Amino acid sequence: MTSLEQRFPVAEPVEVGSLLDEVRAEPSGGRLTVGDPRVVEFVTKFARKLLAPALARRYPELASLGFFLRKGELAKALSTLETSGDSLRFPRGLVFHVPPANVDTIFVYSWALSALAGNSNVVRVSSRSAGAAEAVLEALNAALDDVSPEAADVIRATQRMVTYDRSDEVSGALSLAADLRVIWGGDGSVAALRKYPLAPHARDLTFPDRSSFAVASVRGWQEATPEQRRGAAEGFYNDSYWFDQAACSSPRAVFWVGDAAGARVAGEEFRALLASVLEAKQHVTEPAMAVQKRVSAYGAAVDGLVSAISFDGNSLATLELTDATVMPREWLGAGTFANAHLASLGELVPLVLRKDQTVAQFGFTRDELVEFVTELAGRGVDRVVPFGSALTFAGVWDGYDLLAEFSRLVTVQS
């Protein structure tokens, strides 16, 4: 028997059967509801801890998380669940979350939205969880002492974050007990978890491997002020370098859209600005990463994908695509960008795959972007965001309205 280490609320190791009995028991203060005030109270207190200056300075990604979970934001998100007419909204029940091992904060977004929808949750936290994840667990446990007894009791009764070694028995039991299973961590994780059957009524919410790219309007760049251009480079830095460009939302290719001569000039200006941002941020690329980037870049050259490679120090590698219609979607190393010119956004349409998630954009009008997405007609792309917002998590992710997915509708006709 594998026992589970209980990270939140902190408790003695437990067998999976007992854990399931506990979270499925009727809580003493009454069942959780959609937007349950006890959960809102707890999450708000927890968010405040994340926004404490000392913590936010150490882990900037926790500040974004804290911001996302502030009281006003929660109210706004929950307002989208209000029903009218014949429909009433209820929690799904028990949700089993398998977050990625190497993005420290995703498990919190996944858990918090599910808890706000009124679900009992079991979250598998990676044993390899690093600094930010540890800080999150600490803040969660500390928040239990800051809330009303009613809130603390119901959270303790219904929410669990656990760590366990690879185990068919545990993953199997949690899968079978879940009303909804949420799998992050890419294709590999989805395939591994799909081995475990769900109850007939249950379903999976999967977040497979995704890739993202950026588009910049030559006209928009030409019309932008020096400050706006600098801002674009800074935003792009955050989009790309925060998670070593390995986050699914980080752009891996940049398309300059407009006339060829303008695209060349704009691309060069942007590259110089990005290099100066990297310098200002004192961005350090480890030697091993610098070598990795060369392996990838040279490999792309061998494969005939790129016609020119240029390095601005170790931090920035720019690969000119031989053919703009063949973009690399795989990770090529932190700070490695394929670069190409297109005459119009429309040229991108046939290239887009279902796998494409985020389009970071600079300099386009809303109408241009809506037209582009309309032309895509669902081929791919889940979100279009301005430079600087690629990594900003939202309640709608990978095409799913998460709060809606975490709840269900009951209709009443008298």
Partner 1 sequence: MSVFTRSQAEREAQLLPELAELTAHHRASSEGYDRILTSLGIAPNAPFATIADLPWLPVRMFKTHDLKSIPDDEVFKTLTSSGTTGAGASRIYLDKDAAGAQTKQLGATLQEVLGGERLPMLMVDTIGIIKNRRSFSARGAGVLGMANFGRKHTYVLDENDQPDVEAVKKFLAEYGDKPFLIFGFTFMVWLYLYEVARDHGLDLSNGILIHSGGWKKLIDRAVDNTEFRRRFKEDTGLTRIHNYYGMIEQIGTVFLEGPSGNSLYCPDFADVVIRDPETWQEQPVGKPGVIEVVSTLPRSYPGHVLLTEDLGVYNGIDDGDWPGKHFSVLGRLPKAEARGCSDTFSGAAA
Per-residue burial over 72-88, b = 16 or more CB atoms within 10 Å of its CB, e = otherwise: eebeebbeebeeeeeee
Shortest gap between Cβ of 197 and partner 1 (angstroms)? 14
Cα 253 from Cα 263, distance rounded (Å): 14
Question: Using CB under 8 A, which of 309, 326, 373, 404 touches partner 1?
Answer: 309
Which C-beta is closer to partner 1: that of 183 or that of 232? Answer: 183
Decide if residue 103 touches partner 1 (CB under 8 A).
Answer: yes
The DSSP secondary-structure symbol of 378 reads T
Of 75-83, 150-158, 328-336, 371-379, the window that binds partner 1 (rule: CB under 8 A) is: 328-336
CB of 90 or CB of 196, closer to partner 1 = 196
Number of residues in the chain: 414
Window 156 to 195, contacts with partner 1 (CB under 8 A) = 166-168, 171, 183-190, 192-193, 195
- Rounded to the nearest 10 degrees, the angle between the axes of helix 60-68 and helix 37-50 is 150
Q: Are strands 10-15 and 3-8 parallel, antiparallel or unpaired?
A: antiparallel
Burial grade of 41 (CB within 10 A; 0-12, 13-18, 19 or more): buried
Taking the CA atoms of 396, 400, 403 and 404 in sequence, report the sign of the dihedral they define.
Answer: positive
Scan residues 57-86 and list those touching partner 1 (CB under 8 A).
Answer: none
| C-alpha angle 256-308-313 in degrees, rounded to nearest 5 | 90
Stretch of 26-34, 50-58, 329-337, 401-409 lying at the interface with partner 1 (CB under 8 A): 329-337
What's phi and psi for 277, nearest 5 deg?
A: -65, -45
CB of 334 to partner 1, least distance (A): 6
**Of the listed pieces 17-25, 149-157, 259-267, 284-292, which binds partner 1 according to CB under 8 A?**
284-292
Do 104 and 134 contact (CB within 8 A), yes or no?
no
Among 75, 142, 291, 410, binds partner 1 (CB under 8 A): 291
Q: Which of residues 213-252 bind partner 1 (CB under 8 A)?
A: 243-249
Residues of this chain that interact with partner 1 (CB under 8 A) are 98, 100-104, 106, 126, 166-168, 171, 183-190, 192-193, 195-196, 207, 209-210, 243-249, 286-292, 294-295, 297-299, 301-304, 306-310, 313-314, 319, 331, 333-334
